[in-house]
Amino acid sequence: MTEDLKKLTSGCSCGKKHSLSTSDIVVGVGATQKLIDYIKERYDAASALIVCDANTEKYARPIADALGCRTFTHVADARANEIETARLTSYIKSNSLSVSVAVACGSGCIHDITRYCAYENGFPFISYPTAASVDGFVSGVAAMTMHGQKLTYPSASPDALFADDDVYSKAPPRLTASGVGDIIGKFTALFDWEIAHLIIGEHLCPEIALLIRRAIDGVYSAASEAGGANSKDFPRRVIDCLILSGLAMQLMGNSRPASGAEHHMAHFWEMHVANPPTDALHGEKVGLATILVLKRLEALRKSHLPRVDIDVARVFNKNKVYSVYGELTDGIIKENLPGGQNEYTSSVLYNIRPDCLIKNEERVMGLLAGLPSSGEITRVLKGCGAPTTLGEIDLPQGDSFKQISAIYSPYVRNRLTLMKILSANIVMHGDV
């Protein structure tokens, strides 16, 4: 897989230089032994550190025993936050460890914790996914919840990835369904990237966009074919697409190709500012958020784009933001106005004018027409056993919660999406 992608690092049609740090990807039977051999050949095996949680320790211990190295076990279902990263860093420093390489043995959160600490402490890491549940295994960014706010940090990409068929394919089906949700969300993520390119001229690499499209098509086909999620090769097809999506992010240098309004909404729920905590998996929330975003966008197909001249100062009014984000307000405003409270030109909304929207309306409507329906996405997710209603993941089901989620989730990132434009329009009209 990486050999084809390496061509983009030597020259791309978009004119930008891309980089790829992950040199080896091994997916299949026997990948665990190949991981052990790989570490013995390239690193000081005794100084390796296998990072896992209570759920994945059963896979970590045999690897550590074979290498003669240590493991660090997080609590079951550990979250990627300042508490868990501090625990791992403290363990390394208190034991005066010189880590030659860390192995992330687990799913999304274990990978984010490991890649963040690897980046902060200057050692490499290797990805060893134990479930086909998220697309961040080989990305170069870490999605962290720091002091309650969901943030994305530049972090280490893995030197290599080893995914053993006898491990990830035996994970509970719910985890694989979560991976489907994460990839299904790329429908709206790719759409939003195209919208930002069209409206404000944000750089879009067609080659990387094509990789995301391949990942979407791969999962969509696997889920829609006879047998679908029950077929023997389904986990393999899903993890291949998750890895491809992660490599696309790594090549781009950020999460833009794979994260749009649907991820902002999922992150909004993960911040618990408008809802109680939920044990739903990241991909489950992304899949469900994709349905809700599509429903909002479907309403535009028979309407028009907003004509309002966006006043960034009014959109990011501190009192209004505080009414939803509470103690996280300063962080949210800083995310959207990184130049400072009065530096409105740093907002992605700043250069949007009514004439720009009017001029591009026909092309935007064409992009809207190319999106799948919310009903179709519901069918696919339901067929994989993924949740498709808010109640299934213990979130409020009322219209008011859906409205708050739609309006305020775009504040999570200073990234342009069509939902962010729609949100600014509603706030400007004083309807919230």
What mean pLDDT, rounded, does the chain reach?
94
The CATH number of domain 2-170, selected from 3.40.50.1970, 3.40.630.10, 3.40.50.720, 3.40.50.1860: 3.40.50.1970
pLDDT in tens, 65-90: 999 999 999 988 889 999 999 999 99
Q: Please tell me the predicted confidence (pLDDT) of residue 57.
A: 97
Biggest alpha carbon–alpha carbon distance for the chain: 65
Q: Are 212 and 186 in contact (CB under 8 A)?
A: yes
Q: Please tell me the predicted confidence (pLDDT) of residue 432.
A: 46
Percent over 90 (pLDDT), the chain? 84
Q: Which helix (H) or strand (E) holds 369?
A: helix 361-369
Is pLDDT of 309 > 90?
no
pLDDT in tens, 129-148: 999 999 999 999 998 999 99
Superfamily of domain 180-428: Dehydroquinate synthase-like - alpha domain (1.20.1090.10)
> Smallest Cα–Cα separation from 33: which of 55, 72, 58, 62?
62
Residues of the chain with CATH 1.20.1090.10: 180-428
Report how far residue 176's alpha carbon sits from residue 230's, in angstroms, rounded to the nearest whole number: 11
Q: Are 216 and 181 in contact (CB under 8 A)?
A: no
Q: Which tokens hold the place of 404?
A: 């708050």
pLDDT in tens, 328-379: 999 999 999 998 888 899 999 998 988 888 899 999 999 999 999 999 999 9
Is pLDDT of 128 > 60?
yes
- Residue 54's CB is within 10 A of a number of other CB atoms, namely 12
Residues of the chain with CATH 3.40.50.1970: 2-170
